[in-house]
């Protein structure tokens, strides 16, 4: 399985997905809790590959993840994925998986911003991009 990360300065989106792109779980966490989130999912045996978007705060968090891998988790593979336009794709994915209620049903989704952060959906997109890119090699 794949552990995908949408790195951020304050909040970070994470998603665990299968090699076929099916979502297992996703959430948004405070960025400072990323390592404990990774460790928790690793202990449950949920992944052996970490992919991270190359956007905001990726350098710092990338070094943090590399240090975690060096510190006894050498069976885990880590790579970056191009994050360009993932927020736009994440919003679209949000609307596909979150039914609109009230007045939002009558306004096209393309004209709306989701009423909550979509970093978890963006992490899912990052994982899907990795899978798609892997198939093109």
* pLDDT score recorded for residue 137: 42
Does 83 score more than 50 pLDDT?
A: yes
How many residues are present in the chain? 137
Whether residue 135 is predicted with pLDDT greater than 70 in this model: the reply is no
Beta bridge partners of 4: 15, 51
SS3 labels along the chain:
CEEEEECCCCEEEEEEECCCCCEEEEEEEEHHHHHHHHHHHHHCCCCCEEEEECCCCHHHHHHHHHHHHHCCCCCCEEEEECCCCHHHHHHHHHHHHCCCCHHHHHCCHHHCCCCCCCHHHHHHHHHHHHHHHHHHC
Greater pLDDT, 137 or 61: 61
Q: What is the pLDDT of residues 29-70, one digit of tens each?
A: 999 999 999 999 999 998 999 999 998 899 999 999 999 999
- What the chain holds in terms of domains, given with CATH numbers, is 2-135 (3.30.420.140)
Are 126 and 5 in contact by the 8 Å Cβ rule? The answer is: yes
């Amino acid at each position: 399985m794949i552990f995908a990360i949408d790195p951020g300065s304050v909040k970070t989106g994470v998603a665990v997905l299968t090699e076929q792109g099916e979502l297992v779980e996703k959430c948004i966490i405070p960025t400072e809790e990323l390592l404990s989130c990774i460790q928790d999912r690793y202990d449950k045996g949920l992944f052996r590959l970490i992919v991270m978007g190359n956007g905001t705060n990726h350098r710092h968090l990338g070094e943090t993840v590399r240090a975690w891998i060096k510190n006894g988790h050498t069976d885990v593979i880590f790579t970056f994925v191009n994050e360009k336009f993932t927020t736009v794709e994440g919003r679209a994915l949000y609307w596909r998986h979150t039914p609109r209620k009230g007045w939002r049903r009558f306004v096209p989704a393309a004209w709306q911003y989701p009423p909550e952060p979509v970093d978890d959906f963006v992490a899912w997109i990052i994982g899907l991009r990795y899978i798609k890119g892997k198939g093109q090699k």
